[in-house]
Amino acid sequence: MRRWSGVMAVLALLAVSTPVRAQTLVADLSSHLIAITTGFTGTDVVLFGAIDQPGDVAVVIEGPETAQTVRRKDRVAGIWINNETLKFTHVPGFYGVASNKPLDALLPSAVAQRHEIGLDHLRMLPRADADAATVAEFRAALIRNKQREGLYGTEVGEVVFLGQRLFRTSISFPANVPIGLYTVSVFLIRDQDVVGAQTTPLAVSKIGFSADIFDFAQHDGLIYGLLGVLLAVGAGWLAGTVFRKG
């Protein structure tokens, strides 16, 4: 029941998601739902679209926002111990960006900042009292760790133009992709400025057996735990009986 709420939300958003400037840009995804089933090992989603006048295109994929605590280890009495910490809020759980030209050639920094295009321009909010140098250091570490987990793109993806008007790009999601509601934003860029944009929702949801187990574990933890122990006892008893003669 609950896992369908994500799908419903997508459908609702689809109904209202109209392009900002309807005439200039149209884009859509090959799929609006990434279903994490038992066999899930990651997947690719294709984004395709068209523009009515020549221009450049940048695509930003953002996963559900979380808060992240970044910790730095320091050597204490010979061993490495987590010491200084800084918490960031409004951190996207997944972030990817793609464009048909290098980003710094397309947009001035201020514009990229406004639309959060590119890892350097992510608006992650640190705790208020932290000084700038510390924030920069911990912010870089946060991005680096996310990249190592495969959740933040290490490089800008490629938007391919087919002729003047049609474009497409492919977005890869790894197996550990966080569940939730994603937004895929497509920006039309002309003369160093964003002149059109469209946002499309994308849901990442656990479906089927793995979803059932996850929901069960989250909502009825006690019963789930008891059932797990019962299963283990059963398996152990079976093994003890089968191998009795040995």
Partner 1 sequence: MQIYLPIAEMSVNVFWVLGLGTMVGFLSGLFGVGGGFLMTPLLIFIGVPPAVAVGTQANQLVGAGVSGVMYHWRKRNVDVKLGLVMQAGGIVGTVLGVMLFGMLQRLGHIDLVISLSYVIFLGGISGLMLMESVRAVFRGRRKGGASRGKLHHHTWLHGLPFKMRFPRSRLYISVLLPVGIGFVGGVLVAIMGIGGGFLLVPAMIYILGMPTTLVAGTSLLQIILTTGVAAVLQAATNHTVDILLAMMLLVGGVIGAQLGSRASGYLKGEQARALLALTVLGVAVKLAVDLVLTPDDLYSITSTGPRP
**Does residue 15 bind partner 1 (CB under 8 A)?**
no
Residue 4 is a binding residue for partner 1 (CB under 8 A) = no
Output 74 or 191, the one with its CB closest to partner 1: 74
Which is nearer to partner 1, 132 or 242 (by Cβ)? 242
User: Which of 38, 154, 164, 172: binder of partner 1 (CB under 8 A)?
Assistant: 38
- If the CB atoms of residues 58 and 179 are measured against partner 1, the closer one turns out to be 179
Residue 43 to residues 48, 98, 203, Cα–Cα distance (Å): 16, 17, 13
Closest separation in Å from C-beta 6 to partner 1: 8
Binding mask 135-154 for partner 1 (x = CB under 8 A): ---x--xx-xxx-x------
- Give whichever of 72 and 190 is closer to partner 1, judged by the CB atom: 72
Per DSSP, the residues of the chain read -THHHHHHHHHHHHHH---TTTTTEEEEES-SEEEE-TT---EEEEEEEEESS--EEEEEEE--EEEEEEEEEEEETTEEEEEEEEEEEEEESSEEEEESS-HHHHS-HHHHHHHT-SGGG--PEEPTT--HHHHHHHHHHHHHHHHHTT-B-SS-EEPEEETTTEEEEEEEE-TTPPPEEEEEEEEEEETTEEEEEEEEEEEEEE-THHHHHHHHHHH-HHHHHHHHHHHHHHHHHHHHHHTS--
AA letter at 104: D
Nearer to partner 1, 77 or 105 (CB): 77
**Which one among 7, 120, 161, 224 touches partner 1, defined by CB under 8 A?**
224
Scanning residues 73 to 92, which ones bind partner 1 (CB under 8 A)?
A: 73-74, 78-82, 85, 87, 89, 91
Interface map 87-116 toward partner 1 (x if CB under 8 A): x-x-x-x-----------------------
- Tokens 């050639």 -> residue: 105
Binding of residue 233 to partner 1 (CB under 8 A): yes
Asked if 30 touches partner 1 (CB under 8 A), the answer is no
Nearer to partner 1, 134 or 170 (CB): 134
CA distances (Å), origin 33, targets 29, 98, 183, 209:
10, 20, 12, 17
The binding site for partner 1 (CB under 8 A) comprises 6, 36-42, 64-74, 78-82, 85, 87, 89, 91, 93, 138, 141-142, 144-146, 148, 175-176, 178-181, 206, 210-211, 213-214, 217-218, 221-222, 224-229, 231-233, 235-237, 239-241, 243-244, 246
